[in-house]
Structure 1
Amino acid sequence: MTWDGDDYQRRFDDLAASGEDVHGEAAFVLAFAPATVLDAGCGTGRVAIELARHGIEVVGVDVDASMLATARGRAPGITWVASDLAALALERRFDVVVMAGNVPLFTAPGTRAALVAGVAGHVAPGGLLVAGFSLDRGYTEADYDGHAAAAGLTLVRRFATWDRAPFTPGGNYAVSVHGAPG
């Protein structure tokens, strides 16, 4: 899939201008008080930029050149990396790795285990992998939990939304928090 980063960002800018809170994912991550965050599948950098605004050291990674060009234009001081998340090799770890915006759903079928392993390898000991995605597109929370477990992570908590509404099995969206051994 090919994206137009400026057009994609414009949708969020319009929502913010209308009074919508477009920083739910960042607020969720901020609650864990991380010093470092990897925004995996960062798109135009909406989450990363908000986290950096709160003094967090952030690295954003995306495979799409247009999305990264928009991110770089909006926040040139943040480190932006072009990479497929399944092959990610940054040679460092982060307190929190976040995948907001249905990131696992944009990967090719059959590559989701590699995606989760790729980002899980960047979670610091005792750190967290946080991912939010729709469950009605063929990738379930059980599938994701299995991939996270295979990558050495354990489910800590699951919510139905980024504002921490309780998760009920059979729901159509999940925000999952998996932890790495300390």
Structure 2
Amino acid sequence: MPEQRDRWAELTSGQAGEDYARRFAQLADAGHDVHGEAAFCTTLLEPGARVLDAGCGTGRIAIRLTELGHHCTGVDIDSSMLAVARREAPTQEWYLADLARLDSLGLEPEFDLVLAAGNVIPLLAPGTESTVVRQLASALRPGGLLVTGMGLDAAHLPLPEPPLTLAGFDHWCTQAGLALRQRYATWHGDPYEDGCGYAVSVHSRPAA
């Protein structure tokens, strides 16, 4: 049976890199804050932390976190997105890989924070979500944090309907040995309430 493609590839055919980068450049030129995710993560990190940007896309967040003094590694399955990241920051670590097979990269584990922003989890290949969460959790050091951002309704997703629920995602995290620490409605820290269309979640791996 052919391997099922991720939802992102179904939407973009793996050709979205330049358009995606152009859209955020236009937002920045118009005065919009395009670094909310990086600013949020920085509040959770000690200086010089190790960060894995899982589903890093064009590298926007990882590059900003590096500018802020952290050590960032980016992984993405879309070569067109990674081509932009490698052009913008050629000395950073960028890996082309399926997050469901993250362990095949042989990365040094014990990251302080693993980030999956930009609807990474909802746009995975159907049926791989729990495997990906387990892989991301395994990359964390004891006490490390998994930070995710995802839409929960059609208004916050490039999909006609959400492919998962927040309760389902929390269940995968629990199965992977993670505990919910904080949840917000935006990257600016607005309080999360039931029914919000977007969730920023911070799960932690138990300390040794």
TM-score normalised by structure 1 residue count: 0.97
Amino acid at match of 1:4: A
List structure 1 runs of 4+ shifted beyond 3 angstroms. none
CA offset digits 1:112-143 (Å, max 9, x no partner): 10111111111111010000000121311111
Q: How does 1:87-126 map to 2 (within 5 A)?
A: 87-89=101-103, 90-126=107-143
Amino acid at match of 1:125: P
Structure 2: where are the runs of 5+ without partners?
Answer: 1-8, 154-161
Which residue of 52, 57, 60 maps to 1:46? 60
Q: Does 1:19 align with 2:31?
A: yes
Distance in 2 separating the partners of 1:64 and 1:92:
23
Amino acid at match of 2:32: E
Distance in 2 separating the partners of 1:3 and 1:129:
28
Name the counterpart of 1:72.
86
Q: Does 1:158 align with 2:183?
A: yes
Which residue of 41, 63, 76 maps to 1:29? 41
Distance in 1 separating the partners of 2:22 and 2:133:
29
Moved more, 17-26 or 29-38: 29-38
Structure 1: where are the runs of 5+ without partners?
Answer: none
Q: Does 1:149 align with 2:177?
A: no
Secondary structure of 2:73 counterpart:
strand
Identity over the aligned pairs, expressed in percent?
A: 51
CA offset digits 1:69-95 (Å, max 9, x no partner): 110000011100111111102242210
Amino acid at match of 2:60: R
- Structure 1 or 2, whichever has the larger Rg, is 2
Distance in 1 separating the partners of 2:201 and 2:184:
6
Aligned Cα root-mean-square deviation (Å): 0.9
Distance in 2 separating the partners of 1:61 and 1:54:
19
User: How many residues are matched?
Assistant: 182
Q: Does 1:5 align with 2:30?
A: no
